[in-house]
Amino acid sequence: MDRRFFLGTLTGGLLGTSLAAEAQLAGNVPRIGYLEIAPAELPIAQAMIEAFRQGLRERGYVEGRTFVIEYRAAAGRVERLPDLAAGLARLKVNVIVASSTPAALAAKQATTTIPIVSAVMGDPVGDGLVASLARPGGNITGLTFLAPALVAKRLQLLKEAVPDVSHVAALSHPAVYGEQTMRDMLKEAEVAAQTLGVQLQVLEARNPNDFDRAFSAMVTNSASALIVFPSPMFYGAHNRLVELAAKHRLPAIYAFKEAVAAGGLMSYGTNIPDLSRRAATYVDKILKGAEPGDLPVEQPTKFELVINLKTAKALGLTIPPSLLQRADQVIE
């Protein structure tokens, strides 16, 4: 087995010591499948699984006791996800945790009976994963980070940070979400750009090998700022995106704060690892007998604005005090 497909095992108590002992005596130890798109060795992938483990510990699970996690990582290759998901289905795990929308779509294709909890969904209704947020139906539930809904807000914040910007590049990962979700993200960006009086240029990157070409096109077309659309691939490769934005002196706003910690200018969105931690709540309920179709999809209630003043200074920008006052975190 490829070492990237298996990081380790996770076990924990669910119903207390006595029930755990009974389960072990019966030889019936439930297993949790965990499906990750990013390479297993990436720090963010490790942060996601560790956050999930933390969520389990908070609910009384004890590693190495009664529950096992079967971890599968696709090494950053979306095309591997269906085979990995099918493998988890053949193992007849008790529940599959999908770390992203592409992973959830692969899991849905693999099984209609095993419960699926997706920790980080862009738009579960738009992507056809659930019937509705309130009543998902089927075998999938989980959490959403509202991919299309926050695009306009990010563009507005970028305009506040760089008031004289007139041409904004948008980096998109085509087909990473369903057609409706991709259309909705683009529409939100286009309407916001028109309202803000900026020209929007959408550039695509299907994998990290496309980044250099995309950034060269931004410069050629005189882009003076950048908005990075949500994507698991962009999340995993955020260090490279930050590096290229700095090289080309492009103020950029991201959907995830990890990019700002790495030197990006700004981010606005929810805490991605915390979504993975909260996914443990759904797993707990399902293993106690709840049906996934009856568990409403959770929407975030808190969004964090993070600004890197060191990066702003390097770019020759002065962030307006009014924007700094609204920031949840300022890196100096």
**Mean pLDDT of all residues in 249-265:** 97
pLDDT exceeds 50 at position 139: yes
Three-class SS state of 170:
strand
Percent of the chain with pLDDT over 90: 88
Q: Looking at residue 28, what is its pLDDT?
A: 74
Q: How many Å separate Cα 228 from the centre of its chain?
A: 13
* Long-range Cβ contacts of 190-197 (<8 Å, 24+ apart): 191/152, 192/151, 192/152, 192/155, 192/156, 193/155, 193/168, 196/155, 196/156, 196/159, 197/166
The first and second tokens of residue 17, run together, are 């010591």
pLDDT exceeds 90 at position 66: no
Identify the band that residue 329 occupies on the pLDDT scale cut at 50, 70 and 90.
very high
CA distance 119 to 203: 27
The first and second tokens of residue 207, run together, are 């994998």
Please name each of the domains of the chain with its CATH number: 3-145+272-294 (3.40.50.2300), 151-269+303-331 (3.40.50.2300)
Q: Looking at residue 12, what is its pLDDT?
A: 37
Identify the band that residue 91 occupies on the pLDDT scale cut at 50, 70 and 90.
very high
Q: Looking at residue 67, what is its pLDDT?
A: 85
Q: How many Å separate Cα 85 from the centre of its chain?
A: 18
pLDDT exceeds 50 at position 237: yes
Residue 50: burial class (beta carbons within 10 Å; 0-12, 13-18, 19+): middle
pLDDT exceeds 60 at position 13: no
Three-class SS state of 305:
strand
Please tell me the number of Cα atoms within 13 Å of 205 on its side-chain side.
28
The first and second tokens of residue 120, run together, are 């980080």
Residue appearing with tokens 């994998």: 207
CA distance 261 to 34: 26
Q: How does 100-110 read in b/e, with b if 16+ C-beta sit within 10 Å?
A: bbbbbbbbbeb
Q: Looking at residue 65, what is its pLDDT?
A: 84
**Mean pLDDT of all residues in 128-134:** 97
CA distance 258 to 263: 9
Q: Looking at residue 173, what is its pLDDT?
A: 96
Q: What is the pLDDT of residues 162-179, one digit of tens each?
A: 999 999 999 999 999 999
Q: Looking at residue 29, what is its pLDDT?
A: 78
Output phi, psi for 245, to 5 deg: -60, -40
Pairing of the two strands 140-144 and 116-121: parallel
Q: Looking at residue 179, what is its pLDDT?
A: 93
**Mean pLDDT of all residues in 56-71:** 87
Q: Looking at residue 7, what is its pLDDT?
A: 39
Q: What distance separates the 2 farthest-apart alpha carbons in the chain?
A: 69
Taking all residues of the chain, what is their mean pLDDT, rounded to a whole number? 91
pLDDT exceeds 80 at position 298: yes
